Structure 1
Amino acid sequence: MTETKENVFLFVPNIIGFGRVILAIISFYYMPTHCVLACTCYITSALLDAIDGHAARYFNQSTKFGSMLDQLTDRAGTACLMMTLATFYPKYTFWLQISMAVDITCHWLYFHTVTLQGKTSHKFIDMSENPIMHVYYTNKTVLFFMCAGNEAFYAALYVMNFYTGPLVLGVGLWKLIAFLCMPVAVVKALISVIHGIVASMNLATIDLKERAALAEKQKN
């Protein structure tokens, strides 16, 4: 009996993921000049991130490739938005660079370390044991609020370069949204830093275990 070989690249959630990439690239192209078109493509790409997750579970097509594709698309989207904001607000380039560096490095380090460590050793640091981080990990409302607030901060900075928006208490709507969401973005960045620190410590644990195993092997 011939065994059917699956094509991971043609899994439904991964096809959606490719669509996200295309929409993101279109938004990058139009970001400097066409606010509405860029926002439409960028937001649609972000919303599809939730849809492909549901599709993966519905079709039983969760894959490491799809997970990595989502992570890279998210990080690339944020990075390119930051680059555009740096051209709009050159005075704040350094802080945008720091924000981009934290977002990329800490997420990559955490994601890669989790892949390496698995869930087999009690010696690894588990942030979900901390009461505050436990809420962050287990409460979908809190997680959505943090992610949405962070995105809203940078999106508002982007849009206010083109439009003031209606005045609210004498302040343009987009500036007000940016002001209100800034604390969320700061907290989100701090959580990313914590992720990076814990991932570094867990990665060091992996190094020590591998060195001990190698030393034991050399003895024998």
Structure 2
Amino acid sequence: MSPGFFGRHGNVYIYVPNLIGYTRVATSMLAFALAPSRPLACVAAYFLGFVADELDGRYARKLGQTSTLGVVLDMVTDRLSTAGLLSILCMQYAPDKAQARCAAASNSSTLLRLLCLAADWWYMAFLTLLILDIFSHWFQMYSTLVDGKETHKDITSQSAVVRFYYSNRIFMGFCCVSCEVLYLTVYLLSWTHTPAMQPYAAVLRLVALGALPGVLVKQITNYVQLTGAMQALVHYDQQADSKRTQGGNHNLAKKSG
């Protein structure tokens, strides 16, 4: 009997979790399109995609519709969504926009003026976070492939920091949610010079501060993950060189014999 649409049928492209994955891509693109002019709609669309990220894996396991396509779709969508959001923050905190906001905030609180004047550093911070995220996950993904593992979350040979991060789903979820909350909040803070968003500036700053610890832990994990993956790739090359050397010596011994 056919397993039906909600079973493990033959068309992987239309598995329910993969359809959710396509929806995530669409909501992320919608959020990025809205970002330059409609901040609340942008955050709503991005948040919808973030919620869908929790659903795809759950339905994949529940319906028995796990697939390699789904794993890669989920991972790539995660990375590109974060990269897109950080790119938007780079644009929102670009030096020219920062100068305009500083002029508008001349009568604001001392803290707000200081944060505004440090916008050039914010721009570089977001760019650095973007680079670190891409570096760490691509290195980790490739190191797991050459090591014969099925997913970048298979961390049996990683450091204690990365192992704890990936083995504790609640802790990992807290850190991931903290990152998204901080990035979205900082994005909204870039709009607090407008009359519509100005009343929420204090609340947004508190939310950003509350999310900061989880973000710091995640960035430390990204760095440790990157260095561990680089070490794994170097070890792989060393083993390959050793095998080639041993093979060459073995062939030479056979010829000599």
Category of TM-score, reference length = shorter chain: 0.7 to 0.9
Q: For residues 122-169 of structure 1, what are the alpha-carbon distances to aligned partners after superposition, in whole Å with 9 as ceiling and x for unaligned?
A: xx97236x2x54442322221111111111111110112232454xxx
Change (3 A) 1:192 1:172: same
Q: Quote the Cα distance in structure 1 between the aligned partners of 2:214 and 2:62.
A: 32
- Which of 1 and 2 has greater Rg? 2
SS of aligned partner of 2:216: helix
Q: 1:72 is matched with which residue? A: 76
SS of aligned partner of 2:66: coil
TM-score w.r.t. structure 1 length? Answer: 0.85
Matched, 1:24 2:53: no
Q: 1:9 is matched with which residue? A: 13
The within-5 A match list for 1:73-112 is 73-90=77-94, 91=120, 92-112=122-142
Q: 2:53 is matched with which residue? A: 49
Q: 1:114 is matched with which residue? A: 144
Q: 1:37 is matched with which residue? A: 41
SS of aligned partner of 1:172: helix
CA contact (8 A) 1:105 1:196 kept: yes
Count the aligned residue pairs. 206
Unaligned runs of 5+ in 1: none
Q: 1:150 is matched with which residue? A: 179
Matched, 1:136 2:140: no
Following superposition, the deviation at residue 43 of structure 1 comes to 0.9
Moved more, 108-117 or 180-189: 180-189
The one-letter amino acid of 2:145's match is T
Q: Quote the Cα distance in structure 2 between the aligned partners of 1:47 and 1:75.
A: 15
Unaligned runs of 5+ in 2: 1-8, 95-119, 150-154, 192-196, 252-257
Q: Quote the Cα distance in structure 1 between the aligned partners of 2:208 and 2:182.
A: 5
The one-letter amino acid of 1:74's match is D
The one-letter amino acid of 1:173's match is V
Matched, 1:63 2:101: no
TM-score w.r.t. structure 2 length? Answer: 0.73
The one-letter amino acid of 1:150's match is C
The one-letter amino acid of 2:48's match is T
